[in-house]
């Protein structure tokens, strides 16, 4: 299992980015429109850390991991069969891959296909 993308949603993007930069020695880029305006940092294992503001007023702070999969539709289908709610169906993010979000047992997580 590999986490391809770790997404942090927070109303205080600058403070969270500073914390990761200071304590974990990662460097963030400018906001990436294709990833909801997230500031992205490359991780040593080839994954990414993204910190972004909420996209709508009702979106709560969350830390959401996206597991790297070879077939995102098969992963979403298997999760749904196991009882997960499909919150966001697979969607292409040009230049980054395809992602999907599920909620299972009250926990939000996602899948990522390169």
Q: Name 8's bridge partners.
A: 51, 63
The mean pLDDT of the chain is 97
What's the half-sphere exposure (Cβ side, CA atoms, 13 Å) at 69?
A: 21
Which domains does the chain possess? 3-113 (3.10.180.10)
Q: Mean pLDDT throughout 3-15?
A: 98
| Beta strand 97-104 pairing with 107-113 | antiparallel
Of residues 92, 93, 112, the one with CA closest to residue 102: 112
pLDDT at 10 over 90: yes
pTM value is 0.94
111 with 67: CB under 8 angstroms? Answer: yes
Confidence (pLDDT) at 4? 98
Dump pLDDT digits (tens) for 17-31: 999 999 988 999 999
What confidence category does residue 105 fall into, taking pLDDT thresholds of 50, 70 and 90?
A: very high
Query: With 90 as the cut, is the pLDDT of residue 50 above it?
Result: yes
Residue 24 is predicted with a pLDDT of: 85
Q: Within a 13 Å sphere around the CA of 48, how many CA atoms are in the beta-carbon half? A: 18
What is the reported pLDDT for 25?
87
Overall average pLDDT of the 81-102 stretch: 98
């Amino acid at each position: 299992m590999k986490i391809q993308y770790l997404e942090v949603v927070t109303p205080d993007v600058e403070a969270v980015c500073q914390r990761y930069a200071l304590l974990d020695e990662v460097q963030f880029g400018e906001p990436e429109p294709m990833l909801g305006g997230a500031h992205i940092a490359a991780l040593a294992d080839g994954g990414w850390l993204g910190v972004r503001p909420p996209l709508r007023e009702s979106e709560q702070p969350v830390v959401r991991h996206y597991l790297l999969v070879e077939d995102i539709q098969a992963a979403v289908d298997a999760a749904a069969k196991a009882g997960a709610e499909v919150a966001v169906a697979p969607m292409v993010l040009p230049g980054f891959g395809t992602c999907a979000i599920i909620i299972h047992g009250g926990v939000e997580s996602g899948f990522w296909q390169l």
